[in-house]
Every structure is written in C-alpha cells, then in structure tokens.
C-alpha cells in the first residue's frame, strides 16, 4: 500500500479541502495542524470534525516549526509526498505580528524541507506560495507570469512567501529535491477563512452592519473557487518536476473581478444590499491580482470551472447552514 500523503495545515481552508479530495481518490492522509487562534479555532475544529468516520485519515496536532517532530513523523510513516499548506496567513496581520511569520512561514518551511531531504524516495514536496510575491504592479491587460521578477514585496507576509521559494530553490539545487511552489491567487468558497473580505462582508451584510470598502472600491482580485484550487494542487502533486527540480506555478482563475463587482455579486446571492463605507487603501495591500495559469494548464490540464456568481452562491448556502 502506498505511503500516506502528509498534508500540513489540514485544519485550514485549503488543507481541509485538499485532504478530503485525496481521501476521495483512495489515498491515505496524515493531516497536521497547530490549530492556532489567528481566527476562530471553532471553525478549524469543525473542519476537522468532517473527517470523523472517514477511513484513511489521521490527524496529528503539531507545530510545523518543530523540526524534530516533523522529521520523526515523516520517518515513522515513510512519507514520500507532502502538500505543505500550513503557514501564518494574512497581509495586515503581518504588520502587527511579524514574528508569527518568522516562526510559521520561515522556520516551518525549513523544518518541512529538512525532514523531506532525509526521506528516501521522496517523490514531491508541493508547498503554498502566494500571488502577493508579485507586489503592487499594474496588470497591463494580462496576467502575472512566473517569469516576472518578484523583488518588491509590499508586506512581510509576501516577503516570507518569496523567501520560501528561494529556500526551496536552494534545496533542490543542493539535494535534488523535487518541489513545486504554488502561487495562490485569492481563494474563496465554503469553509473559507473569516478574515477574507467576502466572508466578513457576508457576516456584516446579514447583520445589517456597514462594510468598509478599502481602496475606494478600485481594487481587483483573481477570485478562485476552492474546488478549482484543489484541482490544481493535486494536478501539480501528481506531476513532479523531473530530475529533482524546483518550479513555481500560478494557481488562480485568470478572470480578475473588481471589488465593487464582487460586492454586487455577493449582494445578489444574499438578497440584501450592503451599506458601504469607502476607505483608502490599507497598508500592505495591492491594487490588483491576475493569474496567467498557462504553465499549470500545460502541465495538468488545469481549467477553472466555477465562476464567481456560482461560487459565491455556494459559499452563501454554506454560510447560512453553518451559522444557523
């Protein structure tokens, strides 16, 4: 029987969905997470509860920055494939809590890589990077490509994600470790993160509270539905680089949506109109994101299927059932 896939951040948004999809296709999964309180731990526990009764899943509460614990687990389970999604997320949170990013994103990534390099027969380490590495740059009518320099991060979060890419490149060069970094563009959908705009807007609109619209509503994001994201994650996992190489790939929707258009779509899904308070751009934010996913498509056939109208509708249905 094949060794289980190790998924870090299994109580998180993308980790939870990825683990379920792996189980659906008959894989065994070991999920690890520290279950911190960056946002409501009850939501993370509820995600974990969805694995109850599912054969092939085992959860281990663990800090990815604990290099010895990670190495021991991987050695005991003979792990050969890792989907490393655990990280301290959030752009604005990094301004007030920088050392959380040092530990989780930098030390955590190093711990996972070190454990991987000592595993005989390592097949692939797939890890989460971010579209934030591109910085705040004009789109110029086309998506960001992986060849573009990523040298001007506007938040510490972005800097740590770009650092992880460079660390992975060095390990592939030194040790021939096959690795893929996925530059996620804005992910949304059921079981999502409460700190994301669409999620907090939903809560406030239903409560009759005003929403704050930053950047005067002129920002745009490449909203990508969670099911499409998981398609890309598993497609990448199943197609490791040859000869122990390292690569970075965009994973997004390729259809940037203006913030005001997103709000209007959400209002339709909710059947409510939001009271909007316009605010200037926040520190660390970028004006627009837009993914060129040509490389991922060529490798895996990746093709986003869920457009925003449908995706936000599915999120609202989940939200109303979860927060009864």
Of the candidates 157, 171, 198, 319, the residue annotated as catalytic is 157
Minimal CA–CA distance to 225: which of 152, 160, 302? Answer: 302
* Contact status, residue 43 vs residue 203, Cβ threshold 8 Å: no
> Hey, CA dihedral for 297, 231, 254, 109, is it positive or negative?
negative
Cβ neighbours of residue 257 under 8 Å, at least 6 residues apart?
220, 221, 222, 223, 265, 308
157 among known catalytic residues: yes
Cβ neighbours of residue 54 under 8 Å, at least 6 residues apart?
20, 23
Strands (E), 18-147: 29-33, 57-61, 81-84, 124-130
309: enclosing H helix or E strand? helix 308-322
Active site residues: 157
């Amino acid at each position: 029987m094949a060794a289980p896939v190790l998924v870090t951040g299994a109580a998180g948004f993308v980790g939870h969905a990825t683990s379920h999809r792996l189980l659906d296709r008959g894989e065994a999964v070991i999920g690890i997470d520290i279950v911190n309180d960056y946002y409501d731990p009850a939501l993370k526990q509820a995600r974990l509860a969805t694995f109850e009764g599912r054969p092939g899943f085992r959860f281990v509460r663990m800090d990815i920055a604990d290099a010895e614990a990670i190495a021991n687990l991987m050695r005991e389970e003979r792990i050969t494939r890792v989907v490393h999604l655990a990280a301290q997320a959030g752009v604005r949170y990094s301004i007030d809590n920088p050392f959380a990013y040092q530990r989780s994103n930098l030390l955590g990534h190093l711990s996972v890589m070190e454990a991987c390099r000592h595993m005989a027969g390592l097949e692939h380490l797939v890890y989460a990077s971010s579209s934030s590495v591109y910085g705040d740059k004009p789109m110029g009518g086309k998506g960001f490509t992986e060849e573009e320099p990523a040298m001007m991060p506007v938040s510490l979060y972005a800097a740590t994600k770009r650092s992880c890419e460079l660390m992975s490149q060095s390990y592939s060069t030194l040790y021939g470790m096959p690795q893929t970094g996925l530059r996620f563009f804005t992910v949304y959908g059921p079981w999502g993160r409460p700190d994301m705009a669409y999620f907090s807007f939903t809560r406030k609109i239903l409560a009759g509270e005003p929403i704050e619209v930053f950047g005067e509503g002129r920002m745009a994001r490449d909203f990508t539905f969670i099911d499409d994201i998981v398609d890309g994650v598993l497609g990448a996992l199943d197609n490791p680089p040859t000869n122990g190489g390292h690569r970075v790939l965009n994973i997004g929707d390729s259809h940037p949506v203006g913030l005001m258009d997103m709000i209007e779509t959400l209002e339709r899904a909710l059947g409510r109109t939001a009271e909007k308070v316009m605010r200037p751009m926040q520190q660390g934010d970028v004006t627009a994101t837009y993914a060129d996913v040509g490389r991922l498509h060529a490798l895996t056939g990746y093709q986003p299927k869920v457009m925003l109208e449908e995706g936000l509708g599915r999120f609202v249905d989940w939200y109303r059932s979860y927060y009864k």
